[in-house]
Amino acid sequence: MAKVKISDVAREAGVSLGTVSNALNHPEKLRPETLKLINETINRLGYLPNQSARQLAGGATKSFGLVLPRLDHGFSLQIASGAHNEARKHGYDLLIANADNDDILEDHYLRYFMGTQMSGVMVQPMAFPDWHPAMTKMPVPIVHLDIHCSEPGYYVAADNEAQGRIIAELAIARGAHHIVVVGRAAFMQLTLRVLGIHKALALHPDIKIEVIDAGEWNTAADGYGIGNQIAERPADERPDFVVGLTDVLASGVVSALVDKGISVPGQVRVAGCDGNPLAWSGSVPLTTVAPPGYEIGRKGIQLLMEQIENKAPTKTKHIHVSSAARTVTAVTAIEDINRQELVRPFLLERASTQASSQTDATAINLGAYL
């Protein structure tokens, strides 16, 4: 129980405290034999450097914090994975906190990380983040994932316009003549998807496109309703390709269609648009466009590194300003950068749009999400 500390090691090894510290932080400065002696002593005593003390004294930490909204979604895990690999590559540790769908917890961990003198923090914010203006000008580099935003800050997100474009291109490739886009473009993201679809289709004036902007919440039930409506049309007015702005919507459409005896993908192909894993679970595995979590995580760390490196000059080295003059508002010196990185999503084609039936749909899923 008695904690072994650096001075114990020094005493036991018969060297000075500073030497042990050097053995830990600048081993190259020691004579190999001294180093060896010290390391042996460290192991013998089971000494563990007190990280808190190191950080307090040293400043830097060489570790990043990542706050995730949940751990049960492949996308977040991909982010964690990409972030971790990139961080290790730069010699940094990555600590992950699970906000568990709770925005208070999210905030809590965010502050915790910033207070731990992490070198940087990343967060995949919960839906509709309510930015503390303070957050923006925090003393620690921070990157927001999976979200676009015009506020100053660093953001990495999937390219929603590309998401739409990709799905439209698939429709074209599958020989669609009449496409119906389903869903209420209530948020920026969805609007961008619609935009992408239109852009891709602009090159194909022969293809008929129709947007059904019904329902308010983009629920599966909304999708089901729209699917029903489509099913009841005379065959020649029926689309041959339906795009759901979200996968939930699309899967509702599939259910309705199948219930009405319309074959998917035989008579109508259906695709979602956001890589939601639930897309596996329906009766017909749903084609979708998944955001590349791994890349987003990687990119996020890269932006963190960038901030760290640019900021390097800011050496606050023992500048003993008179206490009175220390007006904290000097903080505004931070440039109000807005940096947004978009990462291209990728197509996950499954049974709901396939030309011929294939059996390996599940394998594809696993590759993408596990």
- By the criterion CB under 7 A, which residues form the site for DNA? 3, 5-7, 14-22, 24-26, 29-31, 33-34, 47, 49-50, 53-54, 56-60, 318
Pick what 17 binds: its own copies, DNA, none; C-beta below 5 to 8 Å, kind-dependent: DNA
Nearest residue to 51 via CA among 59, 43, 41:
59
DSSP character at residue 285: P
How many residues comprise the chain?
A: 370
Nearest residue to 279 via CA among 49, 75, 24, 14:
75
Pick what 312 binds: DNA, its own copies, none; C-beta below 5 to 8 Å, kind-dependent: none
Min dist CB 15 to its own copies, Å, is 16
Sequence-separated (6 or more) residues with CB below 8 Å from residue 12: 41, 44, 45
Pick what 26 binds: DNA, its own copies, none; C-beta below 5 to 8 Å, kind-dependent: DNA
Contact (CB, 8 A) for 256 and 223 = yes
Pairwise CA distance, residues 22 & 195, whole Å: 58
Pick what 18 binds: DNA, its own copies, none; C-beta below 5 to 8 Å, kind-dependent: DNA
Q: How far is CA 224 from CA 11, 240, 254, 284, 285, in A?
A: 74, 17, 8, 14, 16
Min dist CB 309 to its own copies, Å, is 15
* Residue placing its CB nearer to DNA in the complex, 322 or 356: 322
Provide the strand spans (E) within the chain: 63-68, 93-98, 120-123, 142-145, 153-158, 178-182, 208-212, 241-244, 269-271, 288-290, 338-343, 346-348
Pick what 33 binds: its own copies, DNA, none; C-beta below 5 to 8 Å, kind-dependent: DNA
Min dist CB 7 to its own copies, Å, is 8
Min dist CB 178 to its own copies, Å, is 30
* Residue placing its CB nearer to its own copies in the complex, 102 or 213: 102
Min dist CB 350 to its own copies, Å, is 12
Q: Is 211 helix (H, G, I), strand (E, B) or coil?
A: strand
Beta bridge partners of 68: 98
Min dist CB 63 to DNA, Å, is 14
Chain contacts with its own copies (rule: CB under 8 A): 1-4, 8, 11-12, 43, 45-46, 48-56, 71-74, 77, 80-81, 84-85, 88, 93-98, 100, 105, 108-109, 111-112, 114-117, 134, 137-139, 277-278, 280-281, 283, 311, 314, 316, 323, 326, 328, 330-331, 333-334, 359, 362-363, 366, 370
Beta bridge partners of 242: 180, 270
* Residue placing its CB nearer to DNA in the complex, 58 or 175: 58
Nearest residue to 244 via CA among 212, 217, 266, 216:
212
Q: Is 161 helix (H, G, I), strand (E, B) or coil?
A: helix
Pairwise CA distance, residues 272 & 265, whole Å: 13
Pick what 19 binds: DNA, its own copies, none; C-beta below 5 to 8 Å, kind-dependent: DNA
Number of other CB atoms surrounding residue 225 within 10 Å:
18
Min dist CB 47 to DNA, Å, is 7
Q: Quick one: how many helices (H) and strands (E) in the chain?
A: 13, 12
Pick what 31 binds: its own copies, DNA, none; C-beta below 5 to 8 Å, kind-dependent: DNA
Min dist CB 165 to its own copies, Å, is 29
* Residue placing its CB nearer to DNA in the complex, 58 or 367: 58
